[in-house]
Amino acid sequence: MKKLFPLLALAAAAITFTTGCGKKADPGTGTTDADGKKKLTVGFSQIGAESAWRTANTQSIKDEAAKRSINLVFSDAQQKQENQIKALRSFVAQGVDVIAFSPVVETGWEPVLQEIKQAGIPVILSDRAVDVSDPSLFATFIGADFIEEGKKAGNWLAEKTGGKATIVELSGTPGAAPALNRKKGFEQAIADKPDMKIIKSQSGDFTRAKGKEVMEAFLRSPEAKSITALYAHNDDMALGAIQAIEEAGLQPGKDILIVSVDGVKAAFEAMKAGKLNCTVECNPLIGGQVMDLAEKLAAKQEVPRRVFSQEGIFDQSKAEAELPNRKY
């Protein structure tokens, strides 16, 4: 027992230590460019680098900021809301001009957004929405329409199968906006198709390893033989599931039709190999649109409340032609 107390004390110290690290970033406000004009400072809090999609998104934002010589204070939340809240508070302390962030989860943002509002800093939500009762807590939300993505996936599958499918679903991180809405959109699309049913739905946490593990479990279930289609909320989980399907001695893309969302390069390669049937694009290259909004907000101009990113849908017939264009 006597050993426990110093351990706890040190754990507490460790937490303080890591907190301290987040704050020493160079504030950079007030720096000026060659013309003596005040440079715009944007604080951006990214979710993490959980997928190729996210990395491309990060790169697009960094590139665009560099191109326009905007001072970007970038922070990676490593999938944790508490890290993100810390980052947002440090942006306020540093006095950035505009804050942009991709929230890890939908809920729990009111207090920190309230603080930002009191500091008079406009907020751009990038690619994921938040669930707040007071709409004045953020200025605009740019990103994909996740419900629309789910609908596109559902409609494609309905058309491909003639409205007859036994579907298993790999959903994203519980509580995350894309997971909730891609599910909702897909369910809306198949609502009027009585022969299309989701028989199993589990979270694969948007990762390959979990996608594979959960698909394995699906394939061991009593209903395994009846599965004709898989809907994955992102490509990475679908790629993991493809391996599980192959290991079960089935042909992905033939025995089980697979439709997923995102449109990363690896998904196009899988489509070319005939293992994935369709991916609904969710465009990460929104750096330009984000910085446009940031500049307008800093100049106190009006911006629309909701901005959509441009997105397409690709099946195997289009995959090969599109593959060379994929940056991420």
Partner 1 sequence: MNVLSDLLFWAVFAGGLFALRQQRIFWPLLALALLLLFNNLFTPYFFNLEIRNGYLYGSRIDILNQGAKVMLVSLGMTLVIATGGVDLSVGAVMALAGAVAARLMVVDGHGFTTAFFGAIFVALLCGAWNGALVAYLGIQPIIATLILMVAGRGIAQLVSDGQIINFADPTMVFLGNGHLLGLPFTLTIVLALLAATWMLTRRTALGLFIEAVGDNPTASRYSGVNARLVTFLAYLFTGLCSGLAGLVAASNIKSADANHAGLYLELDAILAVVVGGTALTGGRFYLVGSLVGALLIQTLTTTMYARNVSADIAPMPKALVIIAVCLLQSEKARRYLSRFTRRPATPPALPSPAVAPSVIASPAQP
Out of 19, 78, 114, 310, which residue is the one contacting partner 1 (CB under 8 A)?
Answer: 78
| Pick from 216, 226, 273: nearest CA to 249 | 216
Cβ atoms of 250 and 26 within 8 Å: the answer is no
Out of 33, 247, 255, 320, which residue is the one contacting partner 1 (CB under 8 A)?
Answer: 247
Classify each residue of 28-43 as buried b or exposed e, where b means 16 or more C-beta atoms within 10 Å of its C-beta.
Answer: eeeeeeeeeeebbbbb
49 vs 92, which CB is nearer to partner 1?
49
Residue 241 and residue 223: Cα distance in Å, rounded?
17
| Pick from 146, 149, 197: nearest CA to 169 | 197
Out of 62, 175, 308, 315, which residue is the one contacting partner 1 (CB under 8 A)?
Answer: 175
Shortest approach of partner 1 to residue 175 CB, angstroms?
7
| Pick from 114, 54, 125: nearest CA to 89 | 114
137 vs 248, which CB is nearer to partner 1?
248
**Strand 313-315 vs strand 229-232: parallel, antiparallel, or unpaired?**
unpaired
Out of 67, 164, 197, 220, which residue is the one contacting partner 1 (CB under 8 A)?
Answer: 220
The contact mask relative to partner 1 for 17-46 (x = CB under 8 A, - = no) is: xx----------------------------
Total chain residues near partner 1 (CB under 8 A): 48
238 scored as a contact of partner 1 (CB under 8 A): no
Shortest approach of partner 1 to residue 200 CB, angstroms?
6
Residues facing residue 198 across a β-bridge: 167
Cβ atoms of 233 and 261 within 8 Å: the answer is yes
Binding site for partner 1 (CB under 8 A): 1, 3, 6-7, 10-11, 13-14, 17-18, 48-52, 55, 58, 78-79, 171, 174-175, 200-203, 205, 207-209, 212-214, 216-218, 220-222, 224, 236, 239-240, 243, 247-249, 266
